[in-house]
């Protein structure tokens, strides 16, 4: 339920997401799977950069006042539009604390 940290790639683009649009992050990688196995945990998956839930874009930056993404990275719909237009499949992404 936490956002992964590390080096990943964008592997998917979805213009018809339940949260405006989304970009898929290549999590988990082998290192993530190995670390999770050592801890006896599931690494999880399906991590996205996404906009706000459809019909709730009016929240804008107020969405940052609560943790609601279950490990994903949420941005405003306007920010998601900009990312979606500029980021291509295979683009590297470094997620840091």
Average pLDDT per consecutive 10 residues, the chain (97 residues; last block may be shorter): 91 95 96 95 94 88 85 95 97 94
CA nearest 3: which of 34, 31, 30, 25?
Answer: 25
Cβ atoms of 27 and 10 closer than 8 Å: no
Q: What is the pLDDT of residue 63?
A: 86
Question: Could you give the 3-state DSSP secondary structure of residue 84?
Answer: helix
**pLDDT at position 70:** 86
pTM listed for this prediction = 0.86
Q: Name the token pair of 22.
A: 């989304």
Structure token pair of residue 85: 């237009």
Domain spans of the chain, in order of start = 6-95
Q: Report pLDDT digits (tens) over 42-66.
A: 999 999 999 998 888 888 888 888 8
């Amino acid at each position: 339920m936490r956002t992964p940290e590390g080096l990943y790639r964008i592997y998917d683009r979805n213009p018809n997401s339940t949260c405006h649009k989304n970009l898929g992050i290549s999590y988990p990688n082998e290192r993530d799977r190995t670390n999770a196995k050592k801890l006896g945990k599931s690494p999880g998956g399906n991590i996205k950069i996404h906009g706000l839930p459809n019909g709730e874009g009016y929240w804008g930056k107020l969405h940052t006042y609560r943790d609601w993404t279950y490990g994903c990275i949420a941005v405003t719909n306007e920010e998601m539009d900009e990312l979606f237009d500029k980021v291509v499949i295979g683009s590297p992404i470094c997620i840091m604390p």
